[in-house]
Structure 1
C-alpha cells in the first residue's frame, strides 16, 4: 500500500490504521509522536492498548467521532478526539482513525470556567448593582446586590421591566437612560436615584450597549454604584471646611498693640477644625489677658466646644475683673454644656502694664516663665481642667513680669509630637527652642518652633536624637499645634520698675 503510506506521511495530523480486530496496521509520524513510542513498538499492538474510547461521548455520527483517552508509554494519559472512517483494501477491512490532542482545548476550557467562576464571584460580591436588559427593557441578568437591595429573587426579576419593580417616576427615568444608550450605541455615565428602605439613594451609573454577532445593539448593561454616603461625606467636609474658616476668624489677626510688650500666637489644626484656642483680650486700662485652651479630643466636636469656651470667656471678662470669678463661671457653663468626660485645659494670665505683674490661673495647662537671663520656670497648675466638676474653686497666682521676661504657653500637641522612631518631642526641646531664638520676635520664635516640630515629626532629626530602645513608643499622628509667646520689652516710663526679689524665687531653673 505505497499510496496509503505516502498519504499517511503527508498528512498533517495523527493517523492510525487498524484492521477488523482493532490491531494497529500503520501509523504516521504524528501519531508516533503523540503516542510517544516508535512505529516498531506500536504497529501490531491492539488499538485499545493505547487508546480508550468513551463510547458514550459521541461527538458526531459522520464520520464517527468520540472523545477518548490516550495513554502514552510511560506518561500520564490525556484527552483526545477520535474520528474514525472505514477502509477496505482487498480482503482486509478496518478503519482509519484521526487522533486530535485536546489538552490545549481542555486547558482553555478550564481557564474559561475559572474566569467565569471568578466573574460570578465578583458580580455576587461587588457592592455595585450590575444588570442587563434587552432592547424592550426586560431584565436578562441582575447580580446578588440588586436582589438584596430591592428584596427580590431572580425568578421575580428576569423578564420583568423597571415598571414592574420600581415606582413610575423612577422607572421612567431608568428607561429613558437605557433608550439613550440603545440609540447612541455607546457608553454613557450619569447620575440616577433609586428608592431604598431608608429613602432615595444617589447612584453613579455606567451604562453601555451589548451587541450581537453582527454588531447590532441588542441590550443594555449597567453598573451602578451607590454614592450616597460619599455625597453626605462631601457635604459634611464642606461644612467642616466652612466651620474651620469661621473658627480661623476667631483667632487674633491684627498685631496686638500693648505698649512695652510683643506678643504672638500660632494655631495649626491637625484636621480642618481644631479644639485648641488662644486669644489676647484687653481687660481694662493697661491690662491684657493672654489665653490658651485645649479641648479634649479632636475635630469638629472639640472645635464647637472651643467656640463656646471663647464666647463664654469674652462675656465673663466683660462682667468680672477677678480672674478667679471668671474661671469659676466659665467652668460652670462648660460643665453644664459639654458631654461627660469632655474637658478643657485652660490657661489665662492678666498682664498689668503699670505694676509689671502677671496674674494667672491654670486649669491643668502647662506654661513657662523665662527671664532675660534664660532662667525658666514652669508655672504651677492651680485647678483641674474645666468642665469635669460643677463647682471648681479657682485661685489666682501673682508673679512679677519684668523687662526681658517671656511668657510661653503651648498645647500638648507640641511636646507630644512623635518622630518616626517613636521619640516624643517633649517639653525640654520645646522650651529650649524658645531659648535658642529668644533674640528674635515672638512671631519668628513661634515660626521656628513649629518648623522644628514638623521636621521632628517627618523624621528629619539628628541621628543622635533617634531613640533606638526596643521599648520605644509607637508613632502618633500629629495633634493640633498651638502656642503663644509674650515678651516684655521695656518698663513704662511713669512706673518705677519692680524688683524680682519681692517675689519667691523657688521654681526657677537654669
Structure 2
C-alpha cells in the first residue's frame, strides 16, 4: 500500500468493536490510517456525500439498516471498496455479500492487525485493477465510436468517369485514424479530392481530422479557391493544433476531365505522377504543413494536358515510412516500382496492392502508422 494516509469510513455501531479496529490499525507501522467512525448507515451515506474515502469497513447489522440492504445502499452511493464485518454467528450473509459486490468479509472474532491490513491492501489492489480495466474499456469504446463515425464519413473511394479511374482507402493503424481522404463533386463537372495526415495517433488526431474534413467540405461548398481553403483551414485549426501538439499535412486537388487538367494546393503533403515513361515526378508542396505557422500564404499549381497512361498517386507517409524487420524503409522507389509493375491493374487494384506490399515488406511487425492512398489513372 501507499505510504500516504488512507481514509477509511468505519460504519460500526458497536463502540468496543470500532475502538478495537482503530487500535489494530494504529499499531501498524509504515502506513497511516485516518479512520472516521459512524454508528448508522445514514450517517455514513451523508459523509460519502461530502468527503472522500479510500475504503469502507461496514457492519451489516446497523440500527437503521441490516443485511444486504446495507451493502446495496452503499453500492448505490459509491464505487470504493467495501469490506464487510461479520459476527461469529453469521454464516450465509457474509458469503452472499461477497457475491453481491463486497470485496471481502472479516469475522470479528478472528480479526488481527495482519489479517485486517492484508484484507485492506488486497481490496485496494483489486479496486485499482478494476478501475484500470474500466478506463481501458471506456477508451476502447470511445475508439470504436469514433471509428464507426469515420467509417460512415470516410468510405472507400471508387469512381469511374470517362477517361479516369479513381480509388482511395484508409487503412488505420488503430481503432481511430488520423488520416483523411475524401472525394466530392465541384462546379463545371470537376472532381475534387483530398488526402490529409494528422501527426500522432489516437482520439486527439481523429478529432482534428474530423474537424478538417468538415471545414474542407464547407469551404468547397462555398466555392473557395484551393489555396484559400488551405489558408482558411490553417487559421481555423491553428489554436487546436497548438493546444494538442498536432499538425497536419493536406493535399487538395481539382481534376477537370474535359481538359485533362489538375489544379492542386498542398500543405506539406507528398504526391506523385508516374508518366507512361515510368518516370516518377514528385509534385512540390505549395505551402507549409497546417498548424505550424499561424499566418503563411499558400499557393496553388496547375498541371495541364495530363496524358493517357499517367498515374497520379496521393499517399500518406504510412506507406513510404513502413519499416522492415531489418529497419529498412519501404521508400519512394519501392512505391514507384510497385506501380510500374502493376500499372495494368485498376486504381482499386493498385491501392489495395500497394497496401499489401507495404504490409508484406514489414513482415510480422505491427502497422505503426495509418496508411491512406488515392490513385487516379488517366485512361
TM-score in terms of structure 2 length: 0.72
Deviations 1:452-506 (A, max 9, x none): 222222349xxxxxxxxxxxxxxx96111111111122xxxxxxxxxxxxxxxxx
Superposed, 1:9-28 pairs within 5 Å as: none
Match in the other structure for 1:483? 373
Superposed, 1:303-382 pairs within 5 Å as: 303-320=206-223, 322-339=225-242, 341-382=245-286
Match in the other structure for 2:195? 292
Deviation at 1:349, TM superposition (A): 1.4
- Does residue 446 of structure 1 match 2:355? no
Q: Which has the higher contact order (CA 8 A, sep 6+)?
A: 2
Structure 2: any 5+ residue segments left out of the alignment? 49-55, 61-69, 72-83, 111-117
Structure with the higher fraction of residues in strand conformation: 1
Q: Give, in whole Å, the separation in 2 of the partners of 1:235 and 1:252.
A: 25
Aligned-residue CA RMSD in angstroms?
3.9
Q: Give secondary structure in 1 for the equivalent of 2:180.
A: strand
Match in the other structure for 1:301? 204
Q: Give, in whole Å, the separation in 1 of the partners of 2:160 and 2:30.
A: 66
Superposed, 1:120-269 pairs within 5 Å as: 148=32, 151-152=33-34, 167-168=44-45, 175=60, 176=70, 178=84, 182-184=90-92, 186=95, 188-191=98-101, 205-207=103-105, 223-224=122-123, 225-226=126-127, 227-253=130-156, 255-269=158-172
Q: Give, in whole Å, the separation in 1 of the partners of 2:279 and 2:108.
A: 80
Deviation at 1:303, TM superposition (A): 1.0
- Does residue 418 of structure 1 match 2:323? yes
Match in the other structure for 1:403? 308
Deviation at 1:162, TM superposition (A): 8.1
Deviation at 1:326, TM superposition (A): 2.0
Structure-2 change in CA distance of 1:401 and 1:232 (3 Å): same
TM-score in terms of structure 1 length: 0.55
Asked if 1 retains the 8 angstrom alpha-carbon contact of 2:158 and 2:168, the reply is no
Asked if 1 retains the 8 angstrom alpha-carbon contact of 2:178 and 2:197, the reply is yes
| Range with bigger deviation, 231-240 or 167-176 | 167-176
Asked if 1 retains the 8 angstrom alpha-carbon contact of 2:311 and 2:376, the reply is yes
Structure-2 change in CA distance of 1:145 and 1:238 (3 Å): farther
Structure-2 change in CA distance of 1:349 and 1:191 (3 Å): same
Superposed, 1:454-469 pairs within 5 Å as: 454-459=359-364
